[in-house]
Structure 1
Amino acid sequence: MKFLWHEGAVAGAGVALAIGAMEWFSFTSHYPLAVIPFATSIALVIGSPDAEPAQPRALIGGHLVSTLVGLAVVQLTGPSAWAAAMAVGLAILAMYLTATFHPPAGIDPLLVVSNGLPWSFLLKPVLAGALLLTFFAWFWHRGVRRRPWPQRWL
């Protein structure tokens, strides 16, 4: 039981630090925190670092692919509930086809379509945030936990 408590405490501390950094990123990028899609990604990458969806290819690629799908759908259809639903379904398909399946990224197209977000959302906060989260996870697992991460980069 002690081992599980320790692992949970370390993961919780890492997630808390990452969420704090995400709060700062939200403030500086002028996007409300509710529109920055990384809270569940942080929990996955810090809490289950060996899982395939927690590897950098899935983390970065999944967010990029899903956001691109959302941006394309909102460009073609405009914002609507049906368009958002279609964008999420297409994003899941696209992540499978590109081997970048990262379940938390499924929220990206919903946010994009529902809020009619611009193309600039792809670079800031999505790409910048995914890269920062990858760096944080690498530092956290290697530097703090003294464990290897990632299992593979691509």
Structure 2
Amino acid sequence: MKLNKEIFTKAIIAGFFSAVTIGALTVLTYKTTLGLFIAASFGSSMVLLFGFPESPFAQPKNVFFGHLITALVGVFFVNFIPLPIYISIAGAVGIGIFLMIVLDIVHPPAGGNPIMVIIGSASFEYLINPIIFGCILILLIAIMVNKFLLKKNYPLKK
């Protein structure tokens, strides 16, 4: 595989700003008393936000509401649907994906949220921290980096 300069530069930029963003969330989570700001699915969100910000899946509406709706589905299953875990996880992932597509808020990394939520038996509080506040922070950083620093058309105008 031949690695050209453009791809190498894109990879360096995406890797660097992904590390900065996840680092900020990690510091907030472990070095302050403000609560949980990081979710495993945010790592894969970085691929889209900094590697492919032009993707419809990387747009702020998709990132925020995709994470929120799939995490909400997981929390709903944990609290109100008493099924064996292997059925709950499968059902919650399927419903989360269905809702993202129907509501036009598809963000593929968010598809993993119901799995994390159900395995961790997360409460409704998980929707606030890390999902809502974490998404706000990653989106603020992505907008500042992509729009103002890298001069990209992000978020895309419809």
* Aligned mates of 2:88, 2:107 — CA distance in 1: 21
- 1:30 positional shift: 4.5
Q: Is the 8 A contact 2:96 2:114 kept in 1?
A: yes
* Aligned mates of 2:147, 2:56 — CA distance in 1: 18
Q: How large is the RMSD of aligned CA atoms in angstroms?
A: 1.9
Aligned to 1:10: 13
3-state SS of 1:9 partner: helix
- Structure richer in helix, relative to its length: 1
Q: Is the 8 A contact 2:64 2:132 kept in 1?
A: yes
Aligned to 1:136: 141
Alignment match of 2:24 (pick from 21, 26, 30) = 21
Aligned to 1:53: 57
The 5-angstrom pairing of residues 105-124 of structure 1 reads: 105-124=110-129
Stretches of structure 1 that go unaligned for 5 or more consecutive residues are none
Alignment match of 2:107 (pick from 102, 110, 126) = 102
Q: Is the 8 A contact 1:62 1:95 kept in 2?
A: yes
The 5-angstrom pairing of residues 81-92 of structure 1 reads: 81-92=86-97
Distance 1:145 1:121, change over 3 A: same
Q: Is the 8 A contact 1:18 1:136 kept in 2?
A: yes
* Aligned mates of 1:32, 1:100 — CA distance in 2: 21
Q: Is the 8 A contact 1:26 1:36 kept in 2?
A: no
* Aligned mates of 2:86, 2:119 — CA distance in 1: 7
* Aligned mates of 1:116, 1:93 — CA distance in 2: 22
Stretches of structure 2 that go unaligned for 5 or more consecutive residues are none
Q: Is the 8 A contact 2:77 2:118 kept in 1?
A: yes
> What amino acid does structure 1 have at the position aligned with 2:95?
L
Write out per-residue CA displacement over residues 47-98 of structure 1, whole angstroms, 9 at most, x where no aligned residue: 0001111001100010111011111111122472221111011100010111
Runs of 4+ aligned structure 1 residues displaced above 3 Å come to 28-33
Matched, 1:62 2:96: no
Q: Is the 8 A contact 2:54 2:156 kept in 1?
A: yes
Alignment match of 1:38 (pick from 35, 42, 53) = 42
Q: How many residue pairs are counted as aligned between the two chains?
A: 152
> What amino acid does structure 2 have at the position aligned with 1:75?
N
> What amino acid does structure 2 have at the position aligned with 1:69?
V
